Chains A and B, each alone.
Chain A
Amino acid sequence: MTNASLIDFTLYVADSTLVLAQRNGDWCGHGPVLEQDIAITNVTLDLIGQSRSFYQYAAQLIGNDCTEDQLAYWRNEREFKNALLCERPNGDWAQTILRQTFFSFYQRELFMQLLQAADTTLSAIAEKSLKEVRYHCRWSSEWVCRLGDGTEESHRRLQVAVENLWPYTGELFIAAPYETALQIDTDTIKRNWLEALSTLFAAATLPAPSLTDTFMQTGGKTGQHTEALGYLLAELQYVQRSFPGCEW
């Protein structure tokens, strides 16, 4: 394993959590009810905290006075390695909830593997983050059940969300070169993820998910993104790009 692989992997996790947090953050003040507005923004805060931990570590590995802010605000779209799933638009509440569920379930499996990582910083961040991720898994999967096994309308909307997001899940389980270098076992992640999701979908009265009968989009892990990311970064990075180094 080279240092470059470790940096790339750390940025992959940092970018994915930051981009998803930026998406979720749009719900602030717009949640369906006050309690859920608070819930989604609390999840967002945890994601930002996790992304900061990974960015700080990446900055330390890169050296040369690199900072977490430089990594978040001064890299372009092609340099971002986030999973495509994280940049997909919010859509309605069903789509936002489902995107969170897919990602939290994935994070749980990925971070469980990181607990065994040779790199002790990665394993420490994973251990700390897992406590939060498990909470997110529970909250978001309760919503999937409620919507799927709810009214005709909520079930229909969740089904549409599945159709919209499913093509972006396959990428999570195709190892990027830096994951192979770190010996991340994406097959095990895939198996456990699919198993947990199948149980959830059954409870939510959704058809069983299959990773084999859909064309899967790929590229995010190596910097090839959908059009959505450029707009997201333009908003995320606007202030620092316009007023470099500004603080408040």
Chain B
Amino acid sequence: MKAVAADNTELQDCYDLLATIHDPEIPVLSILDLGIVRDVELLRPLQDEGHIRVTITATYTGCPAMDTIALLIKMALLTKGYKKVEIATTIAPAWTTDWMSAAGKEKLKTYGIAPPDKRFEIPADGIVCPQCGSSHTRLLSEFGSTACKSLLQCNDCAEPFDYFKCH
């Protein structure tokens, strides 16, 4: 994601709007938290027909949420008044959990999903329980309810929980 120049308030407004769009499968994360918005190009300002292009990238190639996310972005920007909204997709460089914001990781934890942890590039026993903070946990399945997660259970508080895999 490119840094927004301080004087470009319209572009900043667009980013603020995108921050209100959430991943349909993990609604606690915005698409900015996830790091899937790669670029926003203001081609014509709002007062002059309004033409904008948003470039997004998929987390996993088969992520079924991508079509919905593209649609949500388009609807939000059309509602804001842009006459022409283009959604471009890019695959290179490949999305990585390194692009997830620190705020996003914190939100995941509060929501009950263990955020990606560099010490666990490969899901394993010991990933910190988001409920009680214990490392006394065990891996139940390398695959979880969506492509991006694994399933674990805490030995201390007994809660099963999802782990957002490093990718």
Contact = CB atoms under 8 A, between A and B. Distances in A.
B112 interface: no
Contacts of A49: 58, 60-63
A109 B123 CA distance: 23
Interface stretch (B25-33, B37-45, B77-85, B138-146): B138-146
Contacts, number: 66
Given A49-B60, A53-B61, A139-B142, A127 B147 contact: no
B132 interface: no
B94 interface: yes
B142 to A, nearest CB: 6
Given A45-B64, A49-B61, A39 B141 contact: yes
Interface in B124-150: 140-145, 147
Interface residues of B, number: 21
By DSSP majority rule, is chain A's interface helix, strand, loop, or mixed?
Answer: helix
Nearest to B145: A38
Interface in A96-125: 120, 123-125
B92 interface: yes
Interface stretch (A71-79, A128-136, A194-202, A218-226): A128-136
B71 interface: no
B73 interface: no
Which interface class (under 10, 10 to 19, 20 to 34, 35 or more) fits A? 20 to 34
Interface of B: 58, 60-64, 91-95, 122, 140-145, 147, 151, 167
Please list the 7 inter-chain residue pairs (A to B) with the smallest Cβ-Cβ separation, ordered nearest first: A49-B62, A49-B61, A124-B92, A35-B141, A45-B62, A39-B143, A128-B94
Interface of A: 35-36, 38-39, 42-43, 45-50, 52-53, 120, 123-125, 127-129, 131-132, 135, 138-139
Given A42-B147, A131-B167, 7 more contacts: A38-B143, A38-B144, A45-B64, A46-B62, A123-B92, A128-B94, A135-B142
